């Protein structure tokens, strides 16, 4: 992963300093009053054609818990698993150091607590924008685990930024609102509510996850090199959709 | 935020229970329970202060607090916005409010038309 162009200095220590200020794990919440944006997704459209015509599929959604997505799949008679990996990656207990003393996240511990499923269990994995925002030390191990939990022929959808647009690259959660339409909602992190001296409850809110890097096509192909095939869809909003098949 | 109805069996927020909890009436649980909860034919409400580490088997389950364990509900499951649930859910109907957190599977049990 060292060849991937960094657009942010590795943010492990910064992130954890932010999280250590509170005593409990952060929650991801949609930004208060944030406008929901909709976008067409060719990758989703391709997946929809499969899950609309099949029954009893097993789907893994790796974004923030989305009632809309859960309803979408359960209405189609599929089983959906929800697991918010980005939030899970903010667990302070994951912080460790590599041989050079650099702060990294313990991928072994992370995978012992997350993505614990039988091999070849899922027909679809919805990664959304996870690889762009997940800490560097977790990206490859997570993709490796996703390969193993996907069935042969199973499909994975991921989104990658084509450039760092700064504040215009906020981390979103994605809700499926149509066969090829997604609703995007900006994520912010909410710390625990605290009672101030006046008795009022204050909830500290900070900006959401930061874009960690920008992958180019070759990096993406390397990341998914164990998969059978990979398909790119370039969108207008500086996002490259990637559909890979195990 | 719903409050318990009067006459409903309640476990207050200072109560800690370890073991099997079973009954034949609706239960409002705002304390801590570790083990298993069986309320077949009745409903369980985990209040905002409730912390449950147990498998749950009930007709209906409403979660406002924290629940770690599998939920088997013969009728419906409601996850309110403050709910934090880690475990698999199997039910006929489910409602999840925006803001609820779920780590686990959702499986809808279909009833065969008679």
Per residue in A167-185, pLDDT (tens digit) is 667 888 999 999 999 999 8
pLDDT for residue A10 is more than 50: no
pLDDT classification of A47: cutoffs 50, 70, 90: very high
Find chain A residues with C-beta within 8 A of B110's C-beta.
Answer: 77
Q: What is the C-alpha separation between A99 and A139, in angstroms, rounded? A: 19
Other residues' Cβ atoms within 10 Å of the Cβ of residue A107: 20
Chain B residue with CA closest to A64: the answer is B101
> Domain residues for B81?
9-108
| Cα A193 from Cα A205, distance rounded (Å) | 10
Is residue B113 in a domain?
A: no
Minimum CA–CA partner of B95 in chain A: A67
Q: What integer pLDDT is reported at residue A168 of this predicted model?
A: 64
Q: What is this structure's pTM?
A: 0.83
Check whether A18 has a pLDDT greater than 60: no
Return the CATH class of domain A12-245. Answer: alpha beta
B69: left (phi over 0), alpha (psi -120 to 50) or beta: left
Summarised one tens digit per residue, pLDDT across range B40-90 is 899 999 999 999 999 999 999 999 999 999 999 999 999 999 999 999 999
Whole-angstrom distance between the N-terminal and C-terminal Cα of chain B? 37
Q: Which of B96, B103, B107 sits opposite A67 (nearest CB)?
A: B96
Q: Which residues of A touch B (CB under 8 A)?
A: 27, 29-30, 65, 67, 70-71, 73-74, 77, 79-84, 88
Q: How many structural domains is chain B composed of?
A: 1
- In B, which residues are within 8 Å of A73 by CB distance? 106
Share of chain B above pLDDT 70, in %: 90
* Residue B42 domain flag: yes
Decide if B2 is inside a domain: no
Minimal-distance CA residue of chain A relative to B106: A80
A27 contacts B106? CB cut-off 8 A: no
pLDDT digits (tens, 9 = 90+) for B18-50: 999 999 999 999 999 999 999 989 999 999 999
Do the Cβ atoms of A80 and B105 come within 8 Å? yes
Decide if pLDDT at A5 tops 50.
Answer: no
Could you say which of B98, B104, B110 has the minimum Cβ distance to residue A82? B104
The answer to whether the Cβ–Cβ distance between B107 and A79 falls below 8 Å is yes
Closest partner CB to A65 (pick from B95, B102, B105)? B102
Tens digits of residue pLDDT in A110-129? 999 999 999 999 999 999 99
Reported residue count of chain A is 246
Q: Strand B71-79 vs strand B66-68: parallel, antiparallel, or unpaired?
A: unpaired
Higher pLDDT, A95 or B7: A95
Q: Does residue B72 lie within any of the structural domains? A: yes
- pLDDT at residue A231, as a whole number: 95
With respect to residue B37, please indicate whether it lies within any of the assigned structural domains: yes
Inside any domain, residue B1: no
Interface contact B94-A30, CB threshold 8 A = no
Helices (H), chain A: 12-20, 42-53, 67-75, 85-88, 107-113, 130-133, 136-149, 217-223
């Amino acid at each position: 992963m060292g060849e991937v162009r960094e657009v942010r200095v590795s943010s492990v220590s910064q992130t954890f300093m932010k999280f250590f200020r509170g005593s409990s794990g952060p929650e991801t919440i949609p930004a208060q009053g944030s406008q929901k944006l909709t976008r067409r997704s060719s990758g989703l459209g391709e997946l929809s054609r499969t899950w609309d015509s099949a029954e009893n599929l097993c789907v893994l959604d790796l974004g923030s818990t989305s009632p809309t997505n859960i309803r979408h799949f359960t209405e189609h008679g599929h089983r959906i698993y929800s697991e918010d990996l980005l939030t899970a990656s903010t667990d302070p207990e994951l912080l460790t150091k590599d041989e050079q003393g650099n702060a990294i996240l313990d991928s072994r511990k992370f995978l012992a607590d997350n993505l614990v499923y039988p091999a070849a269990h899922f027909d679809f994995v919805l990664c959304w924008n996870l690889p762009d925002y997940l800490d560097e030390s977790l990206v490859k191990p997570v993709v490796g685990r996703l390969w193993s939990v996907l069935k042969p022929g199973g499909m994975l959808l991921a989104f990658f930024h084509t450039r760092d647009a700064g504040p215009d690259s906020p981390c979103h959660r994605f809700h499926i609102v149509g066969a090829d339409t997604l609703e995007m909602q900006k994520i912010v992190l909410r710390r625990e509510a605290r009672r101030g001296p006046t008795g009022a409850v204050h909830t500290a809110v900070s900006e959401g996850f930061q874009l960690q890097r920008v992958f180019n096509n070759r990096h993406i192909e390397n990341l998914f090199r164990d998969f059978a095939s990979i398909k790119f869809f370039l969108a207008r909003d500086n996002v490259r959709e990637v559909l890979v098949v195990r | 935020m719903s409050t318990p109805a009067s006459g409903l069996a309640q476990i207050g927020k200072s109560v800690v229970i370890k073991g099997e909890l079973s009954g034949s009436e609706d239960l409002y649980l705002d304390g801590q329970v570790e083990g298993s909860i069986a309320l077949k034919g009745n409903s369980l409400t985990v209040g905002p202060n409730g912390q449950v580490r147990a498998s749950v088997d009930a007709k209906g389950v409403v979660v406002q607090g924290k629940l770690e364990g599998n939920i088997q509900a013969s009728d419906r499951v409601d996850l309110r916005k403050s709910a934090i649930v880690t475990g698999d859910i199997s039910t006929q109907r489910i409602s999840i409010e925006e803001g609820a957190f779920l780590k686990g599977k959702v499986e809808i049990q279909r009833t065969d038309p008679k």
